[in-house]
Amino acid sequence: MATHYLLVDGYNIIHANKELTLLAEDSLDAARKKLSDALCEFKALSRYRVILVFDAHMVAGSIGSVEDYHNIKIVFTKEAETADHYIESVAYKLGKKNDRITVATSDTLEQIIILGQGAMRISAEDLWVEIEAAKEEVRARYIRNRPIKKNPIESLLDPETAKILEEMRYGK
């Protein structure tokens, strides 16, 4: 069975999302972390192997890096390499191995290029909708599976006092 990869153009997603854009105005690191954490949650419920790519092409001397962040990979490109270029080359290599690739970007030119390589695409907005739906699924599972707790104050009372309070509560 082929592995399904989700390649995410990080800054493109940040700048296409109001919440992340506002956060980035104060702290780009905070916006990157929020996106990274959201993708980790999404990965936990999805079939994807997630690779989040950030441009570092304008950082002089950047050699690039790939790091494990919880259950996803985060890539910072090397000097003179854009996220688009990195994503295109990874999509090409993985596609040759018959892996399934979905690229998350709202860059129209990038979408056309990756479609030509056999990858699927998802817009930044649609990815965020899927991330939010995954978060709701996690919340719903938690609520469905959490144990029902009795009132802890009631458990401290002797049975006769608890019975009197119960009768008072229901007007008996």
Domain that holds residue 57: 4-145
Q: Provide the domain count of the chain.
A: 1
Sign of CA dihedral 8, 29, 126, 43: positive
Average confidence (pLDDT) over 86-107: 88
pLDDT at 149: 67
Q: Are 154 and 136 in contact (CB under 8 A)?
A: no
- pLDDT tens string 101-135: 999 988 777 777 777 777 899 999 999 999 999 88
**Cα separation of 126 and 124, whole Å?**
6
Residue range 33-86, pLDDT digits in tens: 999 999 999 998 888 999 999 998 667 788 889 999 999 999 999 988 999 999
Q: What is the CATH number of the domain that holds 100?
A: 3.40.50
Taking the C-alpha atoms of residue 124 and residue 26, their distance in angstroms, rounded to an integer, is 21
Q: Is residue 170 a part of any domain in this protein? A: no
Q: Is residue 119 part of a domain?
A: yes
Decide if 92 is inside a domain: yes
Structural domain includes residue 158: no
More confident site: 169 or 31: 31
> Is 39 in contact with 50 (CB distance < 8 Å)?
yes
Determine, yes or no, domain membership for 157.
Answer: no
Q: pLDDT band for position 164 (50/70/90)?
A: confident
pLDDT confidence of 18, banded at 50, 70, 90? very high
pLDDT in tens, 109-118: 777 777 777 7
In a domain, 43, yes or no: yes
Specify if 150 maps to a domain: no
171 found inside a domain: no
Residue 120 · residue 100 · CB < 8 Å: yes
DSSP at 99: -
pLDDT of 43: 93
